[in-house]
Amino acid sequence: MPRDHFRSTRALFSRARGGDAIATKEEKLELEGEVVEAFPNGMFKIALDTGQDVLGYTAGKMRRYRIRINPGDRVKVEVSPYDLSRGRIVFRYR
């Protein structure tokens, strides 16, 4: 069978279910804060500029390139809209 047949049937079935062909990805909230406490398992307690405390972990690229994070560092955190108490540290400011 031609490849176009599979593409058209896949699109047909996805539209029949009532959705788009591809679901949109969730948007993360990017917030800034300061590391308050470092826990031994690579987790950090972060005080956000908004006044909330978040439990954060280092992102994969930061672990790969061994970027160190210490208490007192300013960081950028990605937080999921589903759980605002946990986040992922994606950037450390100098």
20-24 contacts, C-beta under 8 A, 24 or more apart:
none
User: To the nearest 5 percent, what fractions of the chain are helix, strand and coil?
Assistant: 20, 35, 45
25 and 41 Cβ atoms separated by less than 8 Å:
no
Is the Cα dihedral 86, 91, 92, 93 positive or negative? negative
Contact 47, 55 (CB under 8 A): no
Q: Please tell me the distance from the alpha carbon of residue 5 to that of residue 10, in angstroms, as a whole number.
A: 9
CB atoms within 10 A of CB 77: 24
Q: Which CATH number covers residue 51?
A: 2.40.50.140
Residue 84 lies in a domain: yes
Structural domains of the chain, count: 1
Range of the domain at 60: 29-92
Q: Does the residue 51 lie in any domain?
A: yes
Q: Is the pLDDT of residue 10 over 90?
A: no
Residue 52 lies in a domain: yes
pLDDT, mean over the chain: 84
67 found inside a domain: yes
pTM more than 0.75:
no
Q: What is the pLDDT of residues 57-77, one digit of tens each?
A: 999 899 999 999 999 999 999
